[in-house]
Amino acid sequence: MAQSTGTGFRTHHQQFQAIIGTAPTLELLAEHHEYPFAHEAGVFIADTNSLFITSNRCDGPDGQRKVHITRVDLSTNPVTYEEIDTDVPMANGGVNYGNDILFCGQGTKTQPGGLYRMSATAPYDSELLLGDFHGRPFNSVNDVVVHSDGSIWFTDPIYGFEQGFRPPPRLPSQVYRWCPREGTIRAMADNFGRPNGICFSPDEKVVYVTDTDREHGDGTIDDQRVSTIYAFDVSVYHGQPFLTNRRLFAMADHGIPDGIKCDLNGNVYSGCGDGIHVWSPGGVLLGRILIEGGVANFCFGRNGEIFALNEHRIWRAQLGGEVKGALLGL
């Protein structure tokens, strides 16, 4: 990702002041020099005041690339963290799933990519819930969100193949909806370069999907390729949801828009090359939380907290206390 020119808050529209409040702060919570432990997921567990994160790709002891899952205890000062032994292969995005966590396992050349449930408490048991689309294996499942009706929506780009740890793709790069209650899996949206982050608006009438095609998994970057957030309306036909009225919601001018979340007022936040960008529900860039080196993903905590994942570092941004993440409503 592109480097930012500083760390702090930058206002583009006066509405951003209502979001950050009168005294926003940004503090370094944890730093790990050995490998980029704070890359993706960012799942806040309120009951235990803890945070689950996934690393960027690292060299494993057997010479194979791997991803670590880390639990961060936010109750201690300074915060402490522990690496978790888990069977989730090349974990990436994640979301709260009842008392558990739902991780996107990108998979390996021998292990299936898909949706993995992991217990949020030791010994952190995990199991594969969904690993294919009617028999055709997923590419490298990237990010996931859970609808209030229990359905699970996720993205599946081809980064794993480009980065050398997945077989050649057997599916297009698409957005899917899996309904465990009905036992159904559907492709919901296509025509992406690299579909990545996904989230719902607070009323679940809009789905936002980031397309990170500007940066391919082989390391190539092309400014002519999109670094874009698309918005879709959730329409119902014959009793079933469809994604309609696809539109360009916003473009990131630094790096790519990766992880994406909404607050309860419908403002849209996305991790970009210079930090976290914040747009109004109407697509106007309101401001930025600037973090040197950029942010791939992040999550809301309580009362305006944001935990930003900055590869070797985790930052805590304190916005106005009225701000609450739509995912947990805290």
Global pTM reads 0.96
Give tens-digit pLDDT for 35-72.
999 999 999 999 999 999 999 998 877 778 899 999 99
Helix (H) or strand (E) holding 30: strand 25-31
CA atoms within 13 A on the CB side of 292: 7
* Bond from prior residue into 89 cis (ω within 30 degrees of 0): no
Residue 93 confidence (pLDDT) above 60 = yes
Most distant CA pair in the chain, distance = 53
The pLDDT of residue 5: 44
The average confidence (pLDDT) of the chain is 95
Question: CA angle at residue 310 from 29 to 97, to 5 degrees?
Answer: 85
Q: Which domains does the chain have, with CATH numbers?
A: 32-258+293-299 (2.120.10.30)
Give tens-digit pLDDT for 274-316.
999 999 999 999 999 999 999 999 999 999 999 999 999 999 9
How far is Cα 104 from Cα 213, in angstroms, rounded to an integer? 19
